[in-house]
Structure 1
Amino acid sequence: MTAVAATQQMQDRIAALQATIAARPDGVLESFAEQHDVPMRVVLDCLPEGQAVFVDGARFEEVWSELTTFGSIVFIIHSADGVFETKGSLPPGSSGRGYFNVHGESPISGHIKADRCQAICFVDRPFFGRRSCSVQFVNGDGNIMFKVFIGRDDKRELLPDQVASFEALRARMQQK
């Protein structure tokens, strides 16, 4: 395939993706990526203005540190093989031996290749009829490393204090 043909093919995919997002604005983004054979970064780039705000992935530790103050969140890893969700507070982490190491009094722990994070996306969009706010960490391949979702109360409403923290963090990150 020539470069021109490949570019046209990607433009066609993006146009079809934009039509899908317009028709189902609260649908599952990973399904859109799979349906149109594009990385998640392309899907995030195609969201309506204001729904996806990007900052440089070099700010990984700064954003993570702020997220540790949010309280109980939902940590999600979504792969082709499943969606894994863990609720809890993000514990602090530190860099060492090529990883950002997360340990603490939380069910969330592990070792993250933070240097692979190319972008951090603040996503604020409808999801199945409700507002959803998340911070999504995007690698250099355009795939999502993991997502941190704002928590909900027992009525499935977003926690107002976390929404305020999310909005403030997003605004601060945009200004730097």
Structure 2
Amino acid sequence: MNAVAEQKDDVFLPLQQRLATNPDGILEDIARTYCVSTLDVVRALPEAHRTIVAGDRFETIFEAVTGWGSILFIVHTPDLVLECEGPLPPGTFGRGYFNLHGDSPIGGHIRASRCKEIAFVSRPFMGRESRSIQFFNLDGDAMFKIFVRRDEARNLIADQVARFDTLRASL
């Protein structure tokens, strides 16, 4: 085994072991602890907790989620965790961006061409079941995340869970 492979195993094996016994936690915090990208952390999750597809499925996935009703849209950077609830608006490509249109608190312009991989993540978070679709850029950082919403009792909305599972299985 070469030195690079050994160094990778030095990080990834303990990370995989940690996630196998406890997949809970903030992915970005786990990435900082192990000095890897957030995408590396998602890749290290047990297979039952993640499905990863190519970023060229961006428009297909985005379009499907526009029919889910109100979702939780999160942008997590080292300096900010921005959460926005609302329906995911439709978008179109133009001038190098995927431009969001419609009457929603979620809006803006996404550089979809930088989306390398998209992960469907099902895992515990803060002790509760969660489902999210996470869009990763070329650097392995999350561009943004779409979470299945919770009801008043803090349970995942069943219709969105079914749509998430169906979309994940279709890819």
TM-score by length of 1: 0.93
Aligned to 1:43: 41
Q: How does 1:1-176 map to 2 (within 5 A)?
A: 4-173=2-171
CA contact (8 A) 1:20 1:32 kept: no
| Structure 1 residues 94-143: Cα deviation after superposition (integer angstroms, max 9, x where no partner) | 00000000121101000000011111110011111111000000111111
* Alpha-carbon offset, residue 168 of structure 1: 0.6
Range with greater deviation from structure 2 (144-153 or 20-29): 20-29
CA distance in 1, matches of 2:20, 2:56: 32
For structure 1, list consecutive stretches of 5 or more residues without a partner in the other structure. none
- Secondary structure in structure 1 of the residue aligned to 2:48: coil
CA contact (8 A) 2:135 2:143 kept: yes
Secondary structure of residue in 2 paired with 1:50: helix
**CA-CA distance at 1:170 after TM superposition:** 0.6
Q: Which ranges in structure 2 are unaligned for 5 or more consecutive residues?
A: none
Q: Which letter does structure 1 place at the counterpart of 2:155?
A: E
Q: How many residues align?
A: 171
Give the whole-Å Cα distance in 2 for the aligned partners of 1:6 and 1:78: 30
Which 4+ stretches in 1 moved above 4 angstroms? none
What is the TM-score normalised by the length of structure 2? 0.95
Give the C-alpha shift of residue 50 in structure 1: 1.9
